[in-house]
Amino acid sequence: MRQAGLKPVWKRKFIHTTDSKHDLPIAANVLARQFNPAAPNKAYVSDITYGTPSQRSPPALG
């Protein structure tokens, strides 16, 4: 490889993409832990789960 001028390309380790120490504006906490909204379509929830496939547990069956 050295004679041919080839160099190995190393796979990079997992890079964390969350930056909690930023100066960007943060959305207001409009739900304020009140989980009974006053009217329909006033509050929505979501969940974002990060991790590589090897870190995830198998899906629940049933």
In tens digits, the chain (62 residues) has pLDDT values of 888 888 888 887 777 777 778 888 888 887 777 777 778 887 777 777 666 666 666 666 65
pTM of the predicted protein model:
0.28
**Cα Rg of the chain (Å, integer):** 22
Residue in this structure with the two tokens 């929505």, named with its chain if needed: 44
Residue 49 makes CB contacts below 8 A (sequence gap 6+) with: 56
Gap between the Cα atoms of 44 and 38, Å rounded: 13
